[in-house]
Amino acid sequence: MIDDAIRVLAGDCTVITEGTEREEYRGRMTTVVKPDNTVLVHDSDGYQPVAWLTRADSVSSDRSDGFTLVAKKDAQTLRIAAHEQDGFAHYPVSAAGPRIGTCPDCSGALVRSRGVHCIDCGARYGVPSDATIRNDGHNCDCGLPRMRVERGLAFNVCLDRDCESLDEAVSEAFDREWNCPEPGCDGDLRILRRGGLIAGCEHYPDCDTGFAMPTGVVDGECACGLPTFETQSGTRCLDATCDRVQARALEGEGDPEAVSDD
């Protein structure tokens, strides 16, 4: 079940904000408390809240004498006291985004929003920001859609990395494919995860050479000896600091024979 919920309090309330200044409001207002503890107090006038506190450190409520809600963040305090309560409720919420499939566990809608989430059971899958979710019906055997991710090659793997590992697919294709470019080093570049996927020297920590795997497909070799990648922004070397691929391209601009050879 989804644990996230929006809390809503509506009624005749007094709202007090305390920080660098103290302000007090009275009226029929609706208070919304979001799952990240952001508190918004709305009245009938305009779109801007009467009062708000973004991502409060704590939000507490007391129903022993009427209803009081207190939110605190650093030196700021927001207090809402209901004199006459029209309603108080918890409403379940989930991430919202474009629908990309159906959850095989509960048949709920799978949506893409900072990953992929089921809006019913809350199942979550991490997805690279550059991934394309396939909606051609060729799902994984587990029932989840596959995603297309470019990391040297175009890989089609399951959303669930425990089912089909993108890391393992990239490693199988490129582990030890390239030599370490560090002078005097005889190591190969291994495919490793260090926050993201990298091609790092096998002799680490004696050799700390390593390069983040670009978003793109290998399309040749740079003048430095490392592979080049065709990316959305153009051709680049595995070494993002290398300017030899660009220098080679500029040399070719004035050489008709070089252009025809391409």
Residue-by-residue pLDDT tens, the chain, 262 positions: 345 899 999 999 999 999 999 999 999 999 999 999 999 999 998 789 999 999 999 999 887 777 899 999 999 999 999 999 898 899 988 889 999 999 999 999 999 998 999 999 889 999 998 999 988 778 999 999 999 999 999 999 999 999 999 999 999 999 999 999 999 999 999 999 988 899 999 999 999 999 999 999 999 999 999 999 999 989 999 999 998 775 454 454 443 333 333 3
Q: Are 69 and 31 in contact (CB under 8 A)?
A: yes
d(CA 53, CA 72) in angstroms, rounded, equals 8
Residue boundaries of the structural domains of the chain: 5-92, 99-171, 214-262
Q: Which two tokens stand for residue 179?
A: 């030599």
Q: Residue 247 burial (CB < 10 Å; 0-12/13-18/19+)?
A: exposed
Report the alpha-carbon distance of residue 146 to residue 160 in Å, rounded: 9
Q: What is the pLDDT of residue 175?
A: 97
CATH architecture of the domain 5-92 equals Distorted Sandwich (2.70)
Q: Around Cβ 163, how many Cβ atoms within 10 Å?
A: 15
pTM: 0.70
Within the chain, where are the H helices? 166-174, 244-253, 256-261
